[in-house]
Chain A
Amino acid sequence: MAKVFNLALVAILVASLYGPVNRVVTVLGVFRTPSPAVIADQGFYKIADTTQCEDLHLYADKLFAACEDAPQTRHVWFPPMAVFTQTPQTTGSIHVIDPKVSKRSVVATRGG
C-alpha cells in the first residue's frame, strides 16, 4: 500500500514538473541544434563598423545603436553576464545606420 502511495506521489511530482521543466529546456535550447541561415537570392548585407551593438531602434528613418566597437572588452567586462575579469579599457559609441538600399545586391553566401 505504501509502495503504491509512493508511486502515486512520484507520478504527481513528475506530472507537475514536466511542463515547467520542458519549458525551461525549450527556452534554453538544451536539445536544439541551431540551423545555419541559407542566403539564396535575397538581399543580404554585413554592415561594417557595427561591433557588438546590443540594442537597435528605428527613429526618423534611421537606425540607432550603441556599439562596443572594441570586441575584446565585452569578453572580459560585462556586468549583465556577471563577467568582471578586467575593467574596461575602451569606450563604445552611438552609431547611426541608414537602412535605405540604393541598389539590390547579394553580398555573400555563407563564409563571405
Chain B
Amino acid sequence: MKSTRLEFENFSGPFVTHGIDLTRDPARKDAVYIFAVNHIPNPDFYMGSSNGEDVPKARSQIELLHHILGSNTVRHVRSIYHPLIKTPNDIYAESPTSFYVTNDHFYREGLKRQVEQMIPAAKWSDIVHVRVDKLESSDGQSGVDVSVALTGLHNNNGLGRGASPDEVVIDSALGGIMYRAKLSDNRTLSIADSVKVDCVADNPSYFQDPYATAEDDRSGYVVAGISRAIDLPRTFADPTAKDGVMVWLVRPNSTEPSGWEKRLIFEDDGGLVRTASAAVLVGIEPKDGQRKAWLIVTGFLSESMIAVEVEL
C-alpha cells in the first residue's frame, strides 16, 4: 500500500493536523473538497497584543481544500474561523459550504479542563454547524455563520458517516461511547442510540460490506481507541513511549442484552502502532468461505499507519 503526499498549490502553513472530512465537488465529478482542522497559534496571544491571561494560545480553524482525484496536488480554497469553533476535533461535511465540527472540550487548559475530563457528568462539549456564504475568500471570518447543533455529551470527539445518508456517528472519547445521530433540516443533530466500548473512543467509521448477501452481511461500525488513556498525559511528550491500541467492530444485534454485538478485532501494545485515533475496514473478496478485510489503523502519535488482515 502506497501513500502519496499531496503538494499544496498555494498554501505554506502552518498546518497542524487533526480531523478531516471530504465532500464531492458538485461542479466536477473527478474532484473533492476536503475540510481539515488546523490548530494554529493565536496571533493575539503570541504577538502580545492583549492580556495573555484571557487570550487562548491556539486559534484553531478549519481549512477548506480542493483536490482533483488522481492528481498529486491540493489547492487551498479558504480558512474558516469563528468564536464558536473553539476546540475543534473532527468534521462531518455536508457540502462544500456547510459542515458539522465537534468542540471536544469547553475548557482549553488548566484545572477546569482536568475536572471536565475526569467527571462523566461534565457534559460541556458541543457540536456546531457551520455555513459559509461563499467558497472563495481571503478572510477566514468572512461570511461564516455558526449555530449549536448538539450539546450534552461528555467530550464529544470523532465524527463519521453512518449506515444511511442521514446518519452521523459521534464518539465520546473519554466516555468510551459511540452514538448514532440523525441529521435534521434545522442544522441540529438528535441522538438515536448508543453503544459503550471498553476504552476511549476516538474517530468512528462505517464499514459497508461490499460482499454482503441477504444471509451474510458483515457491515458494522469501526471504533478506534487507546488501551491506557490514563497514561497519555505522561507519555504524550515522550517520542520513545508506547501507547497501546484497541479497535472494535460493533453492530446492532437485538439478541444481545445491550442491543449491540461488540468484537475487539485488533489490539496492540503500541509496538506496531502507537495510539489509534482512526481505523477503516476495506473488504477482501471472499475465498474458501473466509470473510476477511484489511484493517487500516492510524493514530495521532503513530510513526506509520498499519494495514493488517482481520477476520470479519
Contacts and interface: CB of A to CB of B under 8 A. Distances in A.
Contact of B57 (A29, A66, A79): A79
Contacts, number: 273
A55 B299 contact: no
A56 B203 contact: yes
Given A42-B308, A91-B15, A26 B237 contact: no
A13 interface: no
B301 A52 contact: yes
B236 A64 contact: no
A46 interface: yes
B269 A36 contact: yes
Contact of B69 (A60, A85, A92): A60
Given A57-B22, A81-B236, A95-B5, A51 B303 contact: yes
Interface string A76-105: 111111111101101111111111110000
Interface of B: 1-8, 12-22, 32, 34, 36-37, 39-41, 46, 57-58, 60, 65, 67, 69, 74, 87, 89-90, 104, 108-110, 113, 118, 120, 158, 174-176, 196, 198-200, 203, 205, 226-233, 236-239, 244-245, 266-272, 277-280, 282, 294, 296, 298-310
26 contacts: A27-B174, A27-B200, A28-B228, A29-B227, A32-B227, A34-B268, A35-B244, A42-B309, A44-B306, A44-B308, A46-B305, A47-B296, A52-B303, A53-B305, A56-B298, A57-B21, A59-B32, A66-B37, A74-B301, A84-B58, A92-B13, A92-B17, A93-B5, A94-B36, A97-B4, A110-B271
The 5 A-B pairs at the shortest CB distance, nearest first, are namely: A34-B244, A91-B13, A29-B228, A27-B176, A79-B58
